[in-house]
Structure 1
Amino acid sequence: MAKSTVEKSSARLKTVLDVLAEGTWSEKSLNAGEILAEAIVRVPLDERESELLSGGIPRGHKSLTSETAKLVKAGWLVKGRSGWTITDDGLRATVAFAKPDEFVTALAEGTPVPADTPLPAAPVKKAPARKPAAKKAPAAEKIPVAKAAPKKAAAPKARAAVEKLEQPSAVAIAGDFNTILGAAEDWAPQYDEVQMKFNARRKVWTLAATLPAGFYTYKIALNRSWDENYGAFGVRDGANHELKHDGGKVTFTYDHATRDIVTA
């Protein structure tokens, strides 16, 4: 029997924590976009959930993003600038509320994770099969070899220079409000008016603007073109960023290390 949209949404939300829990054992770091994408791969969107909203984001993707706020409120997930992190309580929640319906009910009712709930066990790694020992070949007759002159100790190698993150030559906010900033057209990263300024001390790019109240969409475009651009959650060629603004000054801050942006 096909699962309802509500059931799939519940399973998808639990999968977000499952993916994060698995990451604690694999030591593989995933950003928010990759976590949400993996949850959607495991619990695919139905036809209605796949409908694109303004900004090109599927309805189900946006809904899942909003639903993750419940995980934060429950104390099971921490959203930081460097990524999402599952808490110990979040790890235990994947054990205590193993079924999606139990999981969502616990979230809705604020049910605490039982204190005696253990952390999930690390997945058992299969030991590689042992290869049969190779048969030893008969020992060859040793021929005396002249001793080579001792080698001179090599000079100590200089330490490799710490690799530095190469910053782009330009970063632009290309969106549907560029003409408000004074550019000749919207969605055009080549204009000076939409270029961000690099803060060498903080290693971030910023742009402050005054915008009327409204709903805006935009992307980050590098080097005054669309060849390399980043959307929501720092995903290359990803869905548009969205901004619901009450009007007034807003500051955009782009971090090239994460390819993501924050507004304040």
Structure 2
Amino acid sequence: MGANTAENTNRRLKAVLDVLTEGVWTDEKLNAGAVLGEAITRVPLNEFERELLSGGIPRGHKTLTTATAKLVKAGWLVKGRAGWTITEDGQRATVAFADPAAFAAALDAGTPVPADTPLPSAPAGKPATKAAPKAAKVAEKVAGKAAKLVEEAVAPVAKAVRKRKPASAPAAAASAEATAAAAPAVSVEAIDQPEAVAVAGDFNVLLGAPANWAPQYDESQMELDQVDQLWKIAADLPAGNYSFKIALNRSWDENFGAFGAFDGANHEVHHSGGQLVIHYDHRTRDIVFA
């Protein structure tokens, strides 16, 4: 990694902490892909860093993703499947090592954050969002579960009616409509879905596609579940380690890797053999293994 790239990466690592700190002030939950994307927006990739590596990942993006392990080792960042969380030490590091050069030196040397370093304060105009009262959060959670139960109860009936011919069972259709009308209204989130979603990786030929890492083939396409709005694919694969990314609309123009990052690192999975089920949620740009 050249000197310029190393310097840029360290500046982006500090930007990662800055972005996460700002999220604490506003109580905004950002996934890892959004954090990495914002860090690169603040410290843009140079020509060398924009070069695509195997899998269509920009060199600088992959370097940054790998380098975030240093933040974890320093105790400034915690990674989880639900996203990344900055620690209080990580927030204090943005104050103690505000200068990019000092930040890089402290990170490389493992310098601890001075104990008397205060937490960064939100700037004027960006007051920290107050957490909702506990009772309100509990009520919201219970209401959400109730709505989901109603939706799951009504969906099979409505689906059965849709499959029948209108003239064949008017009584059943009327009954289903009455059941749906009697149930409490359930708010269904409107999601602007892509036209197609593919799992493009090193196992596409095992799905019947002519080539691997090719999102254009039918065999690589996922199917949208209209009920939960998740794209799904299931395939019987032999035991092994597999890599893949999610590619939209049968091309690499818009693709998402680990943690839902645009042009991010490959998803990696160790499969013990048998059926592998993958779900993709376009709201988070991330995948879930069922």
Report the Cα distance in structure 2 between the residues aligned to 1:197 and 1:37, rounded to whole angstroms. Answer: 27
Structure 2 residue 31 is the aligned partner of structure 1 residue 31: yes
1:64-105, Cα deviation, whole Å (9 max, x unpaired): 011111212222112233322212121111111212232233
Can you give the 5+ residue segments of structure 1 that lack an aligned partner in the other structure?
127-158
Instruction: Please show how residues 79-98 of structure 1 align to structure 2 within 5 Å.
Output: 79-98=79-98
Instruction: Name the CA distance, whole Å, in 2 between partners of 1:196 and 1:210.
Output: 18
Q: Out of 241, 263, 266, which is 1:239 matched to?
A: 263
Secondary structure, aligned partner of 1:66: helix
Give the direction of change, closer, same or farther, for the CA distance of 1:174–1:196 in structure 2 (3 Å limit).
Answer: farther
Query: Within 2, Cα distance between the matches of 1:48 and 1:190?
Result: 31
- Inter-partner Cα distance in structure 2 for 1:190 and 1:44: 33
Identify which of structures 1 and 2 has the higher relative contact order when contacts are C-alpha pairs closer than 8 Å and 6+ apart: 2
Alignment correspondent of 1:122: 122
1:9 corresponds to 2:9: yes
- Distance 1:80-1:214 versus aligned 2 partners, 3 A rule: closer
CA distance in 1, matches of 2:253, 2:32: 20
| Alpha carbons 1:14, 1:100 under 8 Å: kept | yes
Matches within 5 A, 1:177-192: 177-186=203-212, 187-188=214-215, 191=218
User: Which residue is equivalent to 1:101?
Assistant: 101
**Letter of the aligned partner of 2:74 in structure 1?**
A
Indicate if the aligned counterparts of 2:48 and 2:59 stay in contact, CA closer than 8 A.
Answer: yes
Which residue identity does 2:187 align to in structure 1? V
How far apart are 1:177 and its partner, in Å? 2.4
* Cα distance, 1:215 vs structure 2: 7.0
Kindly indicate whether the alpha-carbon contact (under 8 Å) linking 2:12 and 2:64 is maintained by their aligned counterparts in 1.
yes
Amino acid at match of 2:263: A
Whose helix proportion is higher, 1 or 2? 2
> Are the aligned partners of 1:205 and 1:255 in contact in 2 as well (CA < 8 Å)?
no
The percent of aligned pairs where both chains have the same amino acid is: 50
Deviation at 1:112, TM superposition (A): 2.4
* 1:32-47 alignment, distance < 5 Å: 32-47=32-47
> CA 1:103–1:207 in structure 2 vs 1: closer, same or farther (change >3 Å)?
farther
User: Root-mean-square deviation (CA), in Å?
Assistant: 4.0
Partner of 1:132: none
| TM-score (norm: length of structure 2) | 0.61
Give the whole-Å Cα distance in 1 for the aligned partners of 2:233 and 2:189: 20
State the alpha-carbon separation in 1 of the partners of residues 270 and 51 from structure 2: 27
CA separation of 1:227/1:6 partners in 2, compared to 1, >3 Å: closer, same or farther? closer
Letter of the 2:246 counterpart: K
What TM-score comes out, normalization by structure 1 length?
A: 0.66
Match in the other structure for 2:176: none
Q: 95-104 or 13-22: which moved more?
A: 95-104
Name the CA shift for 1:209/1:241 in 2 (closer, same or farther; >3 Å): farther
Cα distance 1:167–1:42, how it changes in 2: closer, same or farther (>3 A)?
closer
Counterpart secondary structure, 1:68 = helix
Unaligned runs of 5+ in 2: 127-183
CA distance in 1, matches of 2:198, 2:22: 36
